[in-house]
Amino acid sequence: MSGTIIVAEHLQGRLRDVTRELVTAAATLPGPVTVAIVAREPERIAAQAELEGVNEVVLVRAGGDEFENDVYQAALQALIAQRAPEVVLVGFTVGGMGYAPAVAARLSCGFASDVFGLERRDGRLVCRRAFYGAKVHGEVALPAGRTSVVMVRPTVFAPAADGASTSRSDMSIDPVTPRARHLRFVEAPQSDVDITTADFLLSIGRGIGDRENVERFVKLAEQMGATLSVSRPIVDAGWMPAARQVGQSGKTVKPKVYLALGISGAVQHLAGMKTSGAIIAVNTDPEAAIFDVAHYGAVADLFDVADELERLF
């Protein structure tokens, strides 16, 4: 067993950033790095996968143009059977969640997900991941002597730069009849607000507590000259439209100022805002993960602070 296989993630003909990040993550491990592209016409995406640090691109001709989890599972199992990689890296993404754990269960692989650090230690792969709702970090060791499937948290590793052209090879697998079939995509509805272009976002989360309080922050944002954005629970509860959601399932934002009120900082939220210019966070919980990425923090009741902000603007 040797080397690392990265399963490329692509959507509508474009390689997703997470694949570049996986290449950077793979650089910390011994052995050659192979990127596998699973698609009906993988050669159409191959050039995008020729990144710095990649030794080979494997074109796995299978399935349709878009992701189907049975196709990816069959392809990855064939890759493992044929090449016996030490490590397989997959993004901790909606796509990855549909097949990578299934491969690990089928082949009894070592497996860890939402991984933000990895290294070889004493012949085993050691991964860092969070436990207890991110309040605690842990190190887990994957069993030696078998392929490890590792799902890597997006936006942790820097994306790999474009590289020189690499060697390519073809691989075919037995035809797969997918039991879950892609029918079509539905784009998010158009909205008159674009939080991705705002210089100043006032962002509210679960801490606002009640639907009745939303209006107050709509007004406060207006008063402060900010655009209002929200974290996922506010959209889940139906209090604000999805167009205002920051995070992995919403929008990635990079305003000059991101003022977070009552947002604890789920990993998926942080991934969508952590590169903002100045992050100011107000939260009652001193252990809230939002303070990990904030430049300025206050442990305070957001309503008390909002009272004062209303007075000052």
Partner 1 sequence: MSTADNFVGIVVHAGGNVKGLFGPRFLPGVVAYLARHGDGTSPEGTPEVKAVVCVKQVVAIGDEIAFTDDGKSVDGDYLDHAVNEWDVVAVEEALRMTEAASAAGEESEVVVVTVGGEENEEALRRCLAMGAQRAIRVEGQSGALLDPLTVARRLAPVVAREAADVVLCGVQSSDSVQAAVGTMLAELLELPRVAVVKEISLDRADGTATVMRELEGGLVDVVEVDLPALLTVQTGINEPRYATLRAIKQANLKEIEVVEPSQDAPGCYEILRIYAPPRGEGAEMLEGSPAEVAARIVELVKARLS
Name residues whose C-beta falls within 8 Å of residue 312's C-beta, 6 or more positions apart in sequence.
none
Closest CA to 102 of 76, 131, 123: 76
Rule CB under 8 A: is residue 298 a binding residue for partner 1?
A: yes
Q: Write down the residue that tokens 């809230």 correspond to.
A: 288
The dihedrals phi and psi of 107, each to the nearest 5 degrees, come to -100, 10
Q: Which of 50, 120, 242, 254 binds partner 1 (CB under 8 A)?
A: 242
Alpha-carbon distance of 107 to 84, in angstroms, equals 12
Report the residue number, 50 or 285, with the smaller CB distance to partner 1. 285
Q: Which of 251, 260, 262, 269 binds partner 1 (CB under 8 A)?
A: 251
Binding pattern for the stretch 24-53 against partner 1, x by CB under 8 A and - elsewhere: ------------------------------
Distance of CA 93 to the CA centre of its chain: 5
Q: Which of 51, 85, 99, 220 binds partner 1 (CB under 8 A)?
A: 99
Contacts with partner 1 in 152-211 (CB under 8 A)? 179-188, 199-200
Q: Which two tokens stand for residue 150?
A: 């590792």
Rule CB under 8 A: is residue 13 a binding residue for partner 1?
A: no
Encode burial over 274-307: b for 16+ CB neighbours within 10 A, e otherwise. Answer: bebeebbbbbeeeebbbbebbeebeeeebeeebe
Report the residue number, 164 or 212, with the smaller CB distance to partner 1. 212
Minimum separation from the CB atom of position 3 to partner 1 (A): 20
Rule CB under 8 A: is residue 65 a binding residue for partner 1?
A: no
Contact 7, 60 (CB under 8 A): no
Rule CB under 8 A: is residue 145 a binding residue for partner 1?
A: no
Rule CB under 8 A: is residue 79 a binding residue for partner 1?
A: no
Q: Which of 235, 253, 270, 273 binds partner 1 (CB under 8 A)?
A: 235
Distance of CA 89 to the CA centre of its chain: 13
Closest CA to 282 of 258, 267, 263, 266: 263
Contact 290, 260 (CB under 8 A): yes
Q: Which of 126, 171, 176, 218 binds partner 1 (CB under 8 A)?
A: 126
Number of residues that bind partner 1 (CB under 8 A): 108
Q: Which of 143, 158, 161, 209 binds partner 1 (CB under 8 A)?
A: 143
Candidate segments 34-42, 43-51, 141-149, 213-221, binder of partner 1 by CB under 8 A: 141-149
Contact 264, 292 (CB under 8 A): no
Q: Which of 132, 164, 190, 192 binds partner 1 (CB under 8 A)?
A: 132
Residue 75 three-state SS: helix
Candidate segments 30-38, 54-62, 209-217, 287-295, binder of partner 1 by CB under 8 A: 287-295
Candidate segments 25-33, 163-171, 210-218, 237-245, binder of partner 1 by CB under 8 A: 237-245
